[in-house]
Structures are given as structure tokens and as C-alpha cells.
Amino acid sequence: MPLWKIYHPENAFSVQDKHALSQAITALYSRLPKFYVGVVFQPVPADSFFVGGEPADNFVRIWVDHIARTLPTPEAKAWWIKACDDAMAPYIRDRGFDWEFHIDETPFDLWSIQGLRPPPANSDAEARWISENKASPYDLPAA
């Protein structure tokens, strides 16, 4: 949580671009442990991306999966979409790419990290994960 999958034309981003964009995305989630945030760059060959039945060689499609948090109100959703658009703009919009993104929200109880159930949102255990910024021990009830 979250996982960003960025489908893009081949050679759209340099290694430095990918690093900078992934840092900008991670910064959006400053209230979460950094290790929660994943970004995958998936290059798509020019002959393999179509929009409306036509080749799309200047299009970036982003699919975001959220698990640990949801956007509860229309205002929160609008604010978040704008924050995401602003973070992506220097790498996508300002470079002349067409783009689209969407967010799926998966139930928290269908998630684990390295076989551990993450601590509840805004709990003391999650605060510890954030302060340590690593997968700290999390005591699970005995099975």
C-alpha cells in the first residue's frame, strides 16, 4: 500500500526520472512508512498501446492500488487527485504526454507484508513502523 503501476512509452523516462518521480510519489504519502509505497515502471512498446482502438505512442496510464487508507469524502478525493496530478506534472504533463490514472481501494483486511498483518491505521504500532521506517516486529496473536 500503495502500489503505483505506471505504463509508459519505451524510453519515456530515464533512470533518474524514475527515481525522482518515485520519490515525488512517496512524498505524497508522508504519513505512512516509506516502505509501504511501491512504484513500478512498465514500458510499453509503440505497437502495443492503443486508446480508442488507435495506437497511442504518447500516452501514460497509471493504476494505483490503495490498501492502508481510503479517501472517505468527495472533498478528500478531489484534494488527493489534485495532489497526485501536481506531483506527476513535471514528469508527464509538462513533457507533453497524455495521461490518465485511477485509484482502486482494497480492503485493509486483505493485505499482508512479508507474511505479517500490518498494524491498524493510526495505531501506536503503526507509529512505531513510521518512526523506524522499516518492517519492525509486529506481534500477532498466536495461531
- How does residue 74 score in pLDDT terms, banded at 50, 70 and 90? very high
The predicted pLDDT at position 135 comes to 43
Q: Which three cell numbers stand for residue 46?
A: 509503440
Q: What angle do CA 78, 112, 77 make, to 5 degrees?
A: 5
Q: Is 138 helix (H, G, I), strand (E, B) or coil?
A: coil
Query: Between 108 and 21, where is the model more confident?
Result: 21
- Residue 133's pLDDT is what? 55
What local confidence, expressed as pLDDT, does residue 22 receive? Answer: 96
Domain 3-132 sits in CATH at 3.30.429.10
Q: What would the pLDDT profile of 53-67 be if each residue is shown by its tens digit?
A: 999 989 999 999 998
Q: What is the pTM of this model?
A: 0.81
Beta bridge partners of 105: 66
Helices (H), the chain: 15-28, 74-88, 124-132
